Each structure stands twice: as structure tokens, then as C-alpha cells.
A and B are shown apart, each in its own frame.
Chain A
Amino acid sequence: MLLPKFEYDEPRSIEEACETLRTFGETVKPLAGGTDLMVNMKKGVVRPSRVLSLKKLKTCNRIEKLDATIRIGACTLVAELIQNQVIADTLPALQAGAKALGSPLIRNLATIGGNICSARPAADLPPALLVYGARVVLHSQQGPRTVLLKDFFKGPGQTVLRGDELLTAIELDRPPANSGAGYLNLGIRKVQDIDIINGAAYLALNPRDGTIEKVRVALGAVAPTPIRASLAEQALQGQKPSQDLFVQAGQAAQQDCTPITDFRGGAAYRKAMTSVLVRRVLETALKQIEK
């Protein structure tokens, strides 16, 4: 399968990359792992006349543990999210999302930035990132701006990223001691599968009375973008965690989603499974606190 012709750039700094984006506008496409872009270029869905490889942007493939935050470079490999000790210790739901993505071969190419920017409704990393309250750093020639991930997605393949901007990093607050989070996905096969639904939950408990002080629930493949399940969150806020409460939250989450019917699953099936998934992922998050 031949790829159409294009020019190739390999900038060595974010500034140089932004300059190219500015100069060539919509005709240029950033290339990270290529597991999405190369496939789309082969299919002829995307036809850039210039490809901007992010491979040499050394500052973009680091995971940094700062005082109050964790900063993940946009070009960090999904495989690295699994192997990295900081992620394993502090962001287990993100690690679980990374483990669910593709196959070992794909994870050795795919990046976290590419997973976010491709903006697929069923992508494996956004739900965990959403429940950790992630922010994305977008860079243009004017400098960086920071956007909440929950405001980043606009529709399937659509984001607020401008043509002259690059996603350079993902920032997350370090979760407090009394918190836990989880990620679960439902697919037809165990690996290399587009999920029927997926979801993540984050719970932080009040240390004095054990009630839910902070909660975030996020779902994928049930709407045009990954979403926060606000009705489920409302049902949980301020309550004491229990099996019954998690069942109620699961039911509430059905009203948060607007799934479609496709060959992977019907809308009614997706809604029904949302309840189950939300209940289970809340249990996972709670278990994590107890650990």
C-alpha cells in the first residue's frame, strides 16, 4: 500500500515545530507514533502535504514528578506509561488505560498525545485522564496555553486544538492520600479492540467521616466525545460509599450517556452496560483507597 507523497520535517524544538505549523497551516500534520495518522493516510482519509515528526522533541517524552503535579510529555509512549514507576504508584487508572490500549506492538509506537489528539470517542486513555482532572498544555508561536481536558474534545476527531498548535504536555495534580481511582473497558476481544464502552472513576474520602469528598466519573464510547458523568457524580457526592450507592450511581450514569448503535453494540446494550461498568469501576476505585 503506497502512501501519497509528502514533505517531511523533523524539528528539534517546540519553537521550530510551531513555526512550521504557523507557516504551512492546515496542510501540515504532526506525526507522533503514527498508529492513527499512518493508517488514515494509507486509507486516504487524511492527505497532508507535509508531515511534522515529533520524534526529536526531547522535552516532550519525559514524565516528571513535581511538587504538586505530574507532568507527562505528549510524546511519551503508551508502553512507557505501563513501565514507569511514578505512573504505577500515583496514577494507577492511567496505567490500567494504557494496558488496555492495542497490543504490545502498538503500545511501543503509540503516544499519549496522539491518543488525546485523535479524539476517538472510545479511546482508552481519556477516561482515566478526565477523572484525574487532567489539563493539556497547547503550544503555538505565541506561547503555551492550558486547557482542561474536559473542555478539549469537541466531537469525533474534533478538538479545540488550533492548526498552529501542538499538544506538548499533560498535567495532573498528584492525588491525595485518601483517594483512589480505576479504569475498566468492555470489548469483544481481550486485546487490540475498539471498546464497546469504557470508563473511569476517582474517589477521595473525607478522612474524618469517610464520606465522598470529591468524585469524578468519566465514560467513553457512549457519546461523541469522552464525557464526565455528572448525574452519577451528583448521586455520589457527600455520600458514604456502599454497594447500594454504587448501584444507584450506575443507574444515574445511564442518563449521562447518549450512545449510538453500531456493529460493536446497540445503544440500549451500551446504556445497560454503563450501569454495570460504573458500579464496578467505583468498586475498583474504593479498593484502591483501602490498599
Chain B
Amino acid sequence: MKRIIHIRVNEQEYELAVEPNLTLADLLRDELGLTGTKKGCEMGDCGSCTVILDGRNVNSCLILAIQANGSSVQTIEGLETEAGLHPLQQAFVEKGAIQCGFCSSGMILSGKTLLDSNPNPGEQEIREAISGNLCRCTGYQKIVEAVADAGSDYQKGQGGE
């Protein structure tokens, strides 16, 4: 039986009727058209379905949409503002940290969760933070560099304004 949930996605409120067996990943992709959230393994292994749920990065393929009732979700689509790409997105583009792009939204959101609490992480901390996100193309090095670069931008942004 369908149930009504209230969910905030990228700062927008939604009231939706969902079946209990609908995952958050499927809600975002199929009901809201936010296909930036990818589905790779659907078993919690690859991280391509990463979203930020109430401040924590999580695998949206392992969460029921109905469990996210009352929660706030951020997806890759929520990062860009009128001012342009988010510093992490910009750094990924500039560093060449995106090849096929399938892992990128998850990588960027895991990177963002790290930088939000620690804008100046060391290489090991970055590698640890993205360790649930698999990339089959880049060999990770450029992704790690992009997150580090974006971290310095975060700091500049905070200090400069």
C-alpha cells in the first residue's frame, strides 16, 4: 500500500506517495528525474548511488524512500548555484578527475562530506573518505588531487570574503 512521505531534496519540499519497497535511489531517479544519482551494484559495494542524507553520505540503494520521510537529501544536482559549479565540481573538471563520469557524482558528494567538516584534509584522509566509492577509470590519483584542490578553494572562500 502506498504511503505519503515528506522529503526535502536539494532545498525543495516534496509530498509523495511511495510503495514501501521503493528505494531512495529509485525515488530520486524515476520519480524525481534526478538521474545524476547512479546505480551500479545496488548492493552497497560501489558508492555510485551516494547522496547526502541529513548531513551524512550514504548509499541510496540501501535505503527505503519511506525511511527518508522527514529527511533532507542532497544530490549532485543540488551542488551547482547561480554563481556556477561547486568548487568540487570545478576542481574535478580542471584536474581531469572525470573520465566516464559514472562514479563522479558519488565521489564529489563523498568529497563534499569530508570537506564540509575538514577543509584541509591530508591525502590519507581523502583516500579514506572516498573508500566506499569505486572508480574503474581514473586510478583515483586525479580524484584525490581534485578533492585536495577544492579544499584549498574552500579555505580561500572562507577567508577571503
Binding site for B on A (CB under 8 A): 1-8, 31, 33-35, 38-39, 42, 51, 53, 55, 79, 102-106, 108-109, 190-192
Within the complex, which residue of B23, B42, B66, B132 is in contact with A105, where a contact is CB–CB below 8 Å?
A: B132
For chain B, the bracket of interface size reads 20 to 34
Which residues of chain B have a CB within 8 Å of any CB of chain A?
Answer: 1, 3, 19-21, 23, 42-45, 47, 50, 56-59, 61-64, 66-67, 110, 113, 128-129, 131-133
Give complex CA distance A35, B62 in Å: 6
Task: State which of B3, B20, B57, B67 has its C-beta within 8 Å of the C-beta of A104.
Answer: B57
Q: Quick one: closest B residue to A33, CB to CB?
A: B62
Assess whether B43 is in contact with A42, with CB atoms less than 8 Å apart: yes
Contact B50 A105 (CB under 8 A): yes
Whole-angstrom distance between the alpha carbons of A89 and B128 in the complex?
23
Report whether over half of chain B's contact residues are helix, strand or loop; otherwise say mixed.
mixed
| B-side contacts of A103, CB under 8 Å | 47, 131-133
Q: A34 to B25, alpha carbons, bound, how many Å?
A: 14
Q: Contacts A2-B21, A7-B1 hold; do A104 and B110 have CB atoms under 8 A apart?
A: yes
Say how far A211's CB is from chain B's closest CB, in angstroms.
Answer: 39
> What's the least CB distance linking A270 to chain B, in Å?
24
Contact A105 B67 (CB under 8 A): no
Partner of A108, one of B1, B43, B56, B67: B56
Closest CB in chain A relative to B37 CB, distance in Å: 13
Nearest-Cβ distance from residue B151 to partner chain A, whole angstroms: 17
User: Which A-B residue pairs are the 10 nearest by beta carbons?
Assistant: A103-B132, A8-B20, A105-B132, A3-B21, A108-B56, A191-B131, A1-B42, A38-B62, A103-B131, A108-B58
13 more CB-based (< 8 A) A-B contacts, given A31-B67, A38-B64, A105-B44: A5-B20, A8-B64, A33-B62, A39-B44, A53-B64, A102-B44, A103-B131, A104-B129, A104-B132, A105-B57, A105-B58, A108-B57, A108-B58
